[in-house]
Amino acid sequence: MSLSSLFERPLLIFDDKCFSCVKFARCVRILSRGWIRTAGHYYSEEAKKAKELIFPPNYDPTKMFWLINQKGAYGARSALLPVFHEMIKGSFKKTGNQDVYVLACEYKGMSCHNSTTIAKRLVNLLRNREYFPFSS
């Protein structure tokens, strides 16, 4: 089975230890009407398996969020347009999302719950980008 067929429905991998990242992933899931599957870097087995399949063994994919679709894996800034495209695509499809969120803790005490840290994450989002294409 090829990687393209495994990711026929896109998968968004995000930092599930971060308040703003969890909110972002939930918004993407809702706006895509469940078309985009979501999984956390740290607590999702689906994300761990996907990262093993796609990324080289010495690469750390946890430094940014990823959208993985039929074309490849898009990280951070390079994922913004594909996420928007998949949200529009999902708004026309009738799918349900069976995502299970397992968080390290409730939002209280999460390290990026203040405006300074959210601003730093946004700057890193715009600064970083990565793309791992799937060969046809």
Instruction: Give the distance, in angstroms, between the CA of residue 71 and the centroid of all CA atoms in the same chain.
Output: 15
Number of domains in the chain: 1
* Domain with 72 in it: 3-133
SS3 107: coil
Can you give the pTM of this predicted structure? 0.82
Per-residue pLDDT in tens (0 to 9) along the chain, 136 residues: 677 778 999 999 999 888 888 989 999 999 999 999 999 999 999 999 999 999 999 999 988 999 999 999 999 999 999 999 999 999 888 665 544 444 443 444 455 667 777 777 777 777 888 899 987 5
